[in-house]
Amino acid sequence: MTLISLIEASKDFGIRTLFSDLTLHINEKERLGLIGPNGAGKSTLLKVLAGMEPIQAGKRRCSSKLSMALVDQNSAIRDGRTIIEEVLENCGEKRNLLIRFNQVVERLANHPKDPKLLAELGEVSEQMDKNEAWNLERQCKEILQKLGISELNKPVESLSGGYRKRICLASALVMNPDLLLLDEPTNHLDAIGVEWLQNWLDHYDGALVLVTHDRYVLDKVTSKIIEVDEGRAQTFQGNYNSYLKQKAEQDISENASMEKFKGVLRRELAWLKQGPKARSTKQKARIQRITQMKEKPVKVSRGKIELATQSRRIGKKVIEAKSLELAFENQPNSEPLIKDFTYSFNPEDRIGIIGPNGCGKSSLLDLIAGKKEPSNGILDIGETVKLGYLDQQTYELGMGKGLERKVIDFVEEAASQIDYNNKKISASQLLEKFLFSPAEQHSTLSKLSGGEKRRLTLCRILIQAPNVLLLDEPTNDLDIQTLSVLEDFLEDFKGCVVIVSHDRYFLDRTVDRIFNFENGVLKQFEGNYSNFIEKKKSEENKANKQLYSNQSKHKPNETKKINSEYFSDNRSQSMCRNNDQFDKPARRTFKESKELEQINQQLPLLEKKKESIESALATGKDLSLLSQELAEVVQQLNSVEERWLELSELEP
């Protein structure tokens, strides 16, 4: 069954044609990946499919009963709501019940003997039973937890842009629609969150249209690739790996056809130059054919971004960090965000910094770049060091006249020329190598797509010829082709490179040393991201063997205590299970299998206890005691169900 169709659709953006005469059908359970250069129209195409953008020509047809969710790069959420209210926006009556239940439980925590609150709790619990809303609560909490969000009743207006994007993503996943339209959903997720999302999408039962720079995710969850470029959309069957093979074969075939066409045209033009007597009698038809061949439009392949810069001399002393610490802002007496970091960066370093969201990765780069002051310790920057810092927010775009500046002016603010491959070139010439045409250079920043702004900021950084690069989530919003070129550039870059990224493929290509944040302490591992995961997995296996050995020496009640302590940090444990480019599913340990058996026995007992308390509440007796007991059982049931979900996802 077809869910949405575009028939001979066309869409322009100013002087640029995004796509023309596009016919696209999205069927039930189909998995599409949209790829193409920045500014090619991928995000716009998602909005057209969602009915949020009109088309200049053609038709859009949509099933009347279709439920659909779009998560775009600038997803807006309305202020005046809590996180849980926003996430459950599209869940109808179940949403209202669940929000009311959470509000009552929160008030009861402060007033546990309030008879009105106790009566209201009993009433809401009964309605939730009738509407089967408990599963929605469990699903909502699990998704938010996996996306790194724990405070369900926090006002959304106090959240950063990254948190808002994750809330929009959570809302779409909880809604579980017939069709998901996702635009760069892995932005603002850490590596563990990306892997979880990849697994969720792989098991999602609806149709999916995905725009992402994460090549591991694209390869794992898609079964068809649509390439949008130069106003055309072309379909390739299979995942991303299959697309690469088909694309290479197509390029070879097209190049061969073009060479053959040029050969025929050369021969025909040579014939045309001969005198009239040397030509055949059928010269009129032949001359017409030559004219048609000359007028035939030649396919011009899109230019490839060129990244290069004249190397600036860098001394042996680069960056020295000694006992570096950084406290939380406005919390000088709290536990430091970064603890006792000591490291001597060298000119050849290729370092990747990883860790959960909010652990201090970006703050460390801010420290090195001089945007923040350490609360303790010493940071010494070498005299020959010229820093280039690509931050997530690209603050430079908002400086001065902001987005009303011209593209060329934005770059010339940093430098008007650069030594490029041993010769001087102007800012305008460098911009052309970054695929900004002369006409686009005189347009305003406000007209650029998110990826184009990111690419432009990178151009501005490189024109200053840095010898130390600090890159904070550099893969966000960049197209796959540009990422590939950037990876090659960093491999040949003569200087120190420090990268914060959640992109596993990018880290595997660009770094040979990992700093992993663990409770504010940066622990060093040699190798790329996959090497790091392998090492963590090996450490986990050793710990499991030791635990199993210890269990045989303990009594049952002591074993239960060990279980609780060992699995207190499930999020950290899930990180250790990643391996081999995340293709192999994680498996349950022997101990986890036993724990799952215990939970399977415990869940029915808790559910019966909950039903028994609710029945007792209906009699109207002992409301205070029963309601407090119900709240405790519900909380315990939710905790056990969350653990059951985590263990059930693992292969036996």
pLDDT digits 0-9 by tens, 553-575: 554 444 444 344 333 344 444 44
pLDDT above 90: residue 105: no
- Asked whether residue 580 falls in the same domain as residue 604, the answer is yes
Q: What's the pLDDT at 126?
A: 82
Kindly state whether residue 314 falls inside one of the protein's structural domains.
no
For residues 340 and 385, membership in a common domain is answered with: yes
Mean pLDDT to the nearest integer, 173-196: 89
| Percent of the chain whose predicted confidence (pLDDT) is above 70 | 81
Distance of CA 170 to the CA centre of its chain: 13
The number of residues making up the chain comes to 652
- Same domain, residue pair 447 and 564: no
pLDDT, position 127: 82
Token code pair at residue 284 = 């009129």
Q: Yes or no: say if 628 and 119 are a contact pair by the CB < 8 Å rule.
A: no
Q: Is the pLDDT of residue 157 over 60?
A: yes
The region of weakest confidence among 176-185, 392-401, 450-459, 567-576 is 567-576
- Mean pLDDT taken over the chain: 80
pLDDT for residue 210: 95
Weakest mean pLDDT among 141-155, 197-211, 506-520, 560-574? 560-574
The share of the chain scoring above pLDDT 90, in percent, equals 25
382 shares a domain with 324: yes
pLDDT value of position 265: 62
Of 10-24, 259-273, 338-352, 481-495, the range with the lowest mean pLDDT is: 259-273
Confidence of residue 367 (pLDDT cuts 50, 70, 90): very high
482-505: per-residue pLDDT in tens? 888 888 888 888 899 999 998 888
The CATH number of residue 441's host domain is 3.40.50.300
Residue 305 has pLDDT above 60, yes or no: yes
Is 200 in the same domain as 288?
A: no
> Has residue 299 got a pLDDT over 60?
no
Name the DSSP letter for residue 440: H
pLDDT of 49-58, one tens digit each?
999 999 999 9
Regarding whether 112 and 187 lie in a shared domain, the answer is: yes
Cα separation of 47 and 19, whole Å? 13
Residue 582 has pLDDT above 70, yes or no: no
SS3 516: strand
Q: How confident is the model at residue 253 (pLDDT cuts 50, 70, 90)?
A: confident
- Does residue 306 belong to any structural domain of this protein? no
Domain for residue 94, yes or no? yes
Q: Residues 468, 512: one domain?
A: yes
Other residues' Cβ atoms within 10 Å of the Cβ of residue 354: 25
Domain boundary among 531, 564, 593: 531
Q: Are residues 238 and 253 in the same domain?
A: no
Within 10 Å of residue 219's Cβ, how many Cβ atoms?
A: 21
Strand partners, 224: 32, 237
Rounded to whole angstroms, the Cα distance separating 30 from 239 reads 12
pTM comes to 0.65
Neighbours of 126 (CB within 10 A): 14
pLDDT for residue 39 is more than 50: yes
Q: Are 226 and 33 in contact (CB under 8 A)?
A: yes
**Are 432 and 512 in a shared domain?**
yes
Which of 208, 242, 276 represents a domain boundary (last residue)?
242
**Residue 227: pLDDT over 70:** yes
| pLDDT confidence of residue 267 | 65
Residue 188 lies in a domain: yes
Count of domains forming the chain? 4
Lowest mean pLDDT among 175-184, 458-467, 481-490, 537-546: 537-546
Q: Which residues contact 537 (CB under 8 A, 6 or more apart)?
A: 576, 577, 578, 579
Cross-strand bridge partners of residue 320: 344, 380
Domain enclosing residue 425, as ranges: 319-531
Highest mean pLDDT among 161-175, 534-548, 637-651: 161-175
More confident residue, 232 or 565: 232
Sign of the alpha-carbon torsion through 47, 53, 57, 63? positive
100 pLDDT above the threshold of 50: yes
What's the mean pLDDT in 434-438? Answer: 85
Give the model's pLDDT for residue 320. Answer: 95
Q: Is 305 within the bounds of a domain?
A: no
| Last-in-domain residue among 213, 242, 271 | 242
Per-residue pLDDT at 311: 64
pLDDT value at 451 more than 60: yes
Among 115-124, 171-180, 585-594, which is the least confidently predicted range?
A: 585-594
pLDDT category of residue 274 using cuts at 50, 70 and 90? low
pLDDT surpassing 90 at residue 300: no
Examine the domain organization and report whether 417 and 465 are in the same domain: yes
State the average pLDDT over residues 611-624.
Answer: 69
- Given a cut of 60, whether residue 276 has pLDDT beyond it is no
User: Residue 403: inside a domain, yes or no?
Assistant: yes
Label the pairing between strands 224-229 and 31-35. parallel
> Is residue 548 included in any domain, yes or no?
no
**Does residue 154 surpass a pLDDT of 60?**
yes
Phi, psi of 322 (to 5 degrees): -125, 115
**Residue 319: pLDDT band by 50, 70, 90 thresholds?**
very high
Q: Which range, of 126-130, 467-471, 498-502, averages the lowest pLDDT?
A: 126-130
Q: Which of 45-54, 75-84, 409-418, 440-449 has the lowest mean pLDDT?
A: 75-84
Q: What is the pLDDT of residue 229?
A: 83
Q: Nearest-CA neighbor of 220 among 649, 645, 585, 587?
A: 585
Predicted confidence (pLDDT) at residue 587 exceeds the cutoff of 70: no
Using pLDDT thresholds of 50, 70 and 90, give the confidence band for residue 230.
confident
Per-residue pLDDT, 565? 39
Does one domain contain both 84 and 147?
yes
Please state at what angle helix 623-648 crosses helix 92-110, rounded to 10 degrees.
120
Which residue do the tokens 């780069």 mark?
A: 365
Q: Let me know whether 258 and 191 are in one domain.
A: no
CA distance 219 to 198: 10
pLDDT value of residue 178: 93
Residue 137 lies in a domain: yes
